[in-house]
Amino acid sequence: MKKLTALDFFCGAGGITCGFQQAGIKVLAGIDIDKTCKETYEFNNKYENYEDLKDESGGPIFINKDINNLNFNELIKLTGIKRNDESLIFIGCSPCQFWTQLHTNKNKSRNSKNLLNQFKDFVKYFKPGYIIIENVPGLEKRKKESKLDIFFNLLNEIGYNYKDAVLNVSNYGVPQSRKRYILIASRVKEIGLPKADKKLAVVKDFIGIGNGFPELPVGHIDKTELQHTTARLSNKNIRRLKKTPADGGDRLNWADDEDLQIPAYEDKPDNFRNVYGRIFWNKPGPTITTKFLHISNGRFAHPEENRGLSIREGATLQTFPETFHFKGNSMATISAQIGNAVPPELARRIGLTILGINYE
């Protein structure tokens, strides 16, 4: 097989680029409208970081462009790609906020809800050998509104064969209960989906003292490249955590304490049950979102220490390698890069599946 190359549309900080390059697929460029991801993307994804990809050209470039304002000739000039290249992969992991089941403000993401349709135009023009789509299950459940049905029509028209499914990433080496819609298409050969593991990936195999994560106080600032930094907590939230049992305890353990109880949840024990909860050691962790540093946004409290997750713990649960260093001027910027990323281990397995390599 000719050496495969890829373009990572909507690349963010580079989770899928990282995973593909771990699999031995050279990513030529990442494209994203968010300029805060540029430094992280280019710093970490250099070809010299991957044994099979060593190259004097440095690494993939970051194209800071709105896909709606990027034309085909400009993309050819920037990356050197050609039309009808059977060794080329297009990766389209467009922003998923509009299609997520999470209770978020959909008005902010309305402008990006149909980016799949713009991605389709690039597929139609260039006809790459392979196509990857990764998104939330809502993209597939509402395929008419999301334009996924139109994308299917194009794949059939051009002659791609494809497989798609909603996968839980905990079956694919990622210690999170995180369901994702995956589509892999090829006009070169028969294609399949990654093979699920026999055992779920669980938190205790990734973080904790035994995995190189020293115990931390609340609000610790780690100035090393490990970035084992935690957010500050109010005194009341620290007291709440002290009354929350280790390994999966939740806010019901202090619901009878008038001082600690949260008025919005009074007499509503099952509403947003996971907020302020501790992660379980022996289960997949929660979906790592852009707000994972804050215990009020989900089950993001450390399994036993009285604090939230650190930056590095969140990145590790997303399966970023320890050598992947996040660049940004705030913890919020960095946590957004981590939470918005495709887990690199899932991406690596997708890449190996395309290559026909057994990753067991």
> For position 271, which CATH number holds?
3.90.120.10
Instruction: Report the CATH number at residue 39.
Output: 3.40.50.150
- pTM of the full structure: 0.93
Q: Are residues 187 and 224 in the same domain?
A: no
Domain identity same for 23 and 153: yes
Q: How confident is the model over 316-360, as pLDDT tens digits?
A: 999 999 999 999 999 999 999 999 999 999 999 999 999 999 876
Whether pLDDT at 99 is above 50: no
Q: What is the pLDDT of residue 57?
A: 75
Q: Are residues 144 and 260 in the same domain?
A: no
In this structure, the answer to whether residues 27 and 130 fall within a common structural domain is: yes
79 pLDDT higher than 50: yes
Residue at 332 is within a domain:
no
Question: How many angstroms separate the Cα of 41 from the Cα of each of 100, 104, 153, 192, 329?
Answer: 25, 26, 33, 29, 15
190 to 130, 183, 193, 233: CA distances (angstroms): 11, 13, 11, 52
Position 26, amino acid: K
DSSP β-bridge partners for residue 226:
none
Q: 175 with 152, same domain?
A: yes
Closest CA to 194 of 5, 342, 346: 346
The mean pLDDT value of the chain amounts to 92
pLDDT at 139: 86
- 296: containing domain: 207-318
Q: How many H helices and E strands in the chain?
A: 11, 7
Residue 96's pLDDT band, with cuts at 50, 70 and 90, is low
Total count of domains within the chain:
2
Residues 188 and 241 in one domain: no
Give the residue from 348, 312, 340 showing the smallest Cα distance to 172: 348
Whether residue 171 is contained in a domain is answered as yes
- The residue-averaged pLDDT of 271-297 equals 95
Which residues does residue 162 pair with via DSSP β-bridges, in sequence order? 185
- 66 plus 179 within the same structural domain: yes
Give a yes or no: residue 202 inside a domain: no
173/223 same-domain check: no
User: Can you tell me the mean pLDDT for 8-33?
Assistant: 97
217 and 187 in a common domain: no
With cut-offs at 50, 70 and 90, classify the pLDDT of residue 289.
very high
Same domain, 215 and 126: no
